[in-house]
């Protein structure tokens, strides 16, 4: 039995992704009728075939939605929005705050840059979204293992100056959004690794990396670099830079023990997924994959079932496609066996 129902739901997304989100909802055949939109915010009304939404409606895997909430209505102040949440839940639950500010739908953490505690699974969370000076929406959702624990699906992580690229942020945000388990026992192969933002984030987590890219790596990762894949230092992270295009990488370049495939190549989704499957066939220890899919147009999201089918044919069982707060014209795709 569902605890909460509403005629409306709203989705929080990256600014500029609203149209693609609506297109994705239509392509998924969901009984959601478009109702209202602002930058970073799209609301839907339940189709007459279902009448109202409940908590289960929030679990639809809409890639462009960073957070989906049952809508409790609109208010002119944050306090009034909080009242709407209190009335619906019967007490004040954990409240997440979000706002559209500086062209960004941002989640607000109590202390900027400091991650809040992870909510427990099954807990009801209220969200107050500020869209303008007198426009606040109140919503709620139930925390599950498949959604980000952070307000508006935005961990608020800040990139350190030493990172040679924004890709550092993409890796760190994906780890938090998908709650990825990466340990020092893993070996990651990253294709499209230069100049090395992702590589740096992994090395600093203590994880060895085989980086594939014909381009040069930034100096910041030089201290970790080894020249022979078969002579790896024990007990500390290392980087083996395989300076080739992905298509020329063979079993010998990978060696033993690779557990993760990652890609940040600026190639089409189909080429990236094809390489993911080929790498996993060369290295049977690859159980997990994290790929940044660069889109020429956000409407390419309607091809997502074809991407999932390709991955299934390569032995991957669970797939999650997601727009992260740090993504622009791209989507993060996580897949595991
Ligand atoms: C967005 S950059 C990668 C940023 C990088 N992941 C980081 O953490 O700094 C894209 C990279 O993909 C590489 N690339 C494009 N096609 C490739 C291919 N077929 N094989 C390997 N690398 C490729 C480019 O050389 C470029 O360095």
Q: Tell me whether residue 160 is in a domain.
A: no
Q: How much is the mean pLDDT over the chain?
A: 95
Average pLDDT (156-172) is: 96
Helix or strand holding residue 38 (H, E):
strand 32-38
Cα–Cα distance measured from residue 73 to residue 29, given in angstroms and rounded to the nearest whole number: 25
Question: Cis before residue 195, ω within 30 degrees of 0?
Answer: yes
- Beta carbons within 8 Å of 114's beta carbon, 6+ residues apart: none
| 150 has pLDDT over 90 | yes
Cα–Cα distance measured from residue 148 to residue 94, given in angstroms and rounded to the nearest whole number: 15
Average pLDDT (39-56) is: 96
CATH number at residue 297: 3.40.50.150
Give how far the C-alpha of residue 223 lies from the chain's centroid of Cα atoms, to the nearest Å: 30
Residues 41 and 143 occupy one common structural domain: yes
How far does residue 181's CA lie from ligand 1's centre (Å)? 24
Residues 196 and 146 occupy one common structural domain: no
CA torsion sign for 269, 264, 178, 19 is: negative
Residues 46 and 116 occupy one common structural domain: yes
Residues 227 and 138 occupy one common structural domain: no
Q: Tell me whether residue 254 is in a domain.
A: yes
| pLDDT on residue 194 | 98
DSSP state of 184: T
Tell me which of 111, 127, 153 is where a domain ends.
153
Q: Tell me whether residue 161 is in a domain.
A: no
Residues spanned by the domain of 51: 5-153
| pLDDT on residue 116 | 67
Tell me which of 103, 123, 153 is where a domain ends.
153
| pLDDT on residue 240 | 98
Shortest-distance Cα residue to atom 18 of ligand 1? 245
pTM of the model: 0.96
Strand order in the sheet with 124-132: 32-38, 41-46, 8-12, 67-75, 135-142, 124-132, 94-101, 104-108
| pLDDT on residue 27 | 97
Residues 17 and 145 occupy one common structural domain: yes
Q: Tell me whether residue 158 is in a domain.
A: no
Residues 239 and 290 occupy one common structural domain: yes
How many structural domains does the chain have? 2
Residues 120 and 182 occupy one common structural domain: no
Ligand 1 contacts CB of residue 140 (under 6 A): no
Q: Tell me whether residue 96 is in a domain.
A: yes
Residues 13 and 129 occupy one common structural domain: yes
| 69 has pLDDT over 90 | yes
Residues 148 and 223 occupy one common structural domain: no
Q: Tell me whether residue 293 is in a domain.
A: yes
Ligand 1 contacts CB of residue 167 (under 6 A): yes
37 φ/ψ angles, rounded to the nearest 5 degrees: -150, 145
Ligand 1 contacts CB of residue 237 (under 6 A): no
Residues 21 and 74 occupy one common structural domain: yes
Instruction: Specify the residue for token string 């340990």.
Output: 183
Among 209, 265, 268, name the best residue to mutate to test ligand 1's pocket (greatest count of ligand atoms within 8 A of Cβ).
265
Is residue 140 very low, low, confident or very high in pLDDT (cuts 50, 70, 90)? very high
Average the pLDDT over each of 43-57, 105-119, 265-279 and give the range with the smallest value: 105-119
Tell me which of 93, 118, 153 is where a domain ends.
153
Q: Tell me whether residue 186 is in a domain.
A: yes
Residues 251 and 213 occupy one common structural domain: yes
Residues 133 and 218 occupy one common structural domain: no
């Amino acid at each position: 039995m569902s605890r909460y129902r509403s005629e409306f739901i709203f989705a929080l997304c990256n600014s500029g992704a609203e149209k693609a989100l609506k297109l994705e909802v239509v392509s998924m055949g969901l009984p959601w009728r478009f109702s209202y939109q602002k930058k970073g915010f799209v609301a839907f009304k339940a189709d007459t075939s279902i009448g109202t939404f409940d908590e289960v409606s929030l679990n639809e895997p809409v890639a462009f939605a960073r957070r989906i909430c049952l809508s409790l209505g609109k208010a002119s102040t944050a306090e009034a929005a909080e009242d709407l949440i209190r009335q619906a839940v019967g007490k004040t639950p954990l409240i997440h705050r979000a706002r559209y500010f500086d062209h960004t739908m941002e989640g607000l953490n109590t202390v900027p840059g400091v991650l809040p505690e992870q909510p427990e699974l099954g807990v009801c969370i209220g969200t107050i979204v500020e869209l303008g000076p007198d426009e606040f929406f109140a919503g709620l959702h139930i925390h599950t293992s498949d959604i980000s624990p952070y307000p508006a699906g935005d961990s608020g992580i800040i990139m350190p100056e030493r990172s040679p690229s924004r890709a550092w942020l993409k890796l760190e945000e994906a780890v938090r959004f998908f709650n990825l388990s990466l340990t020092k026992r893993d070996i990651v192969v990253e294709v499209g690794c230069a100049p090395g933002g992702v590589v740096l984030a992994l090395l600093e987590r203590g994880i060895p990396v085989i980086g594939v890219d014909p381009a040069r790596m930034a100096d910041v990762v030089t201290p970790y670099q080894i020249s022979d894949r078969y002579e790896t230092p024990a007990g500390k992270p290392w980087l083996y830079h395989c300076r080739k295009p992905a298509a020329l990488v063979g079993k010998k370049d990978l060696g033993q023990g690779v557990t993760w495939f990652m890609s940040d190549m600026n190639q089409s989704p189909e080429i990236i997924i094809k390489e993911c499957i080929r790498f996993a066939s060369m290295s049977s220890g690859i159980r997990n994959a994290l790929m940044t899919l660069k889109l020429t147009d956000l409407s390419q999201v309607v091809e997502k079932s074809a991407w999932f089918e390709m991955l299934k044919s390569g032995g991957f069982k669970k797939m999650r496609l997601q727009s992260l707060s740090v993504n622009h014209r791209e989507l993060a795709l996580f897949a595991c066996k």
